Structure 1
Amino acid sequence: MLQAWLDGSFVPMSDAKISAFDAGFQHGIGLFETMAARHGRIFRGLEHMERMSESARILGLSDSLRAEALVDAAEATLAENSLEHARVRITLTGGDMNLLARTAAEVQHDPTILIHVQPPTPY
């Protein structure tokens, strides 16, 4: 069974679930990148993740995403699933809306980050 990376931990794909209160589910607030991996490495991974980090900052989802850490997590997900060649998707949402309903001074929310991989598919 394939493993997904959800908020920093590997979980079986069937257990990779988000809250019904997640901003991505509630309001469609989020970003995604779909990338190709060859020989266990994401093709132009750093460029993809720098773009995602900047988009997250502009949308107010997160000021602290590190592109290098996202690439490392994606490549760790490839390794965890023993896939050398794969399709990799990273989805980032606004996180728990219950927390977002409070003021920023009360709660600093974290985005939800999901990384999943699958064998490559033809487009």
Structure 2
Amino acid sequence: MSKPGVCICIERGLEKRGKKKNDEKNGIIKEKIKNKCSKKKKLILKRKRKKKKRKRRKEKKKKRTKIINEKNLNLKQLIFFIFKNTKVGNEFVCVEASRQSGGIRLKQKTENIEAMT
């Protein structure tokens, strides 16, 4: 049923039309193959876009980890570093943190906590 180089969409279209025998002779299929199915083109473009997105995400992650690794920070320094570079650092203070889970528990800043640290 499937001919090499013929897109599935085109095949289905031919089936719906009743697949006339002289279609191939008239070169209708060949013409469609040359133009390539638009659905296939869209899929290919979608894949490319996804790849680019993934690449960008990876690069961003690499940059972040690079900064942390270069400075070779321990946990407390790391939290301080993160806080210094975010807006959150102004309103919250760190209570507990674990590097394995990447979790940081925060408390809203009050006078008492500021006095303690």
Name the TM-score, length of structure 2 as normaliser: 0.22
Normalising by structure 1, what TM-score? 0.21
Name which structure has the greater RCO, CA cutoff 8 Å, separation 6+. 1
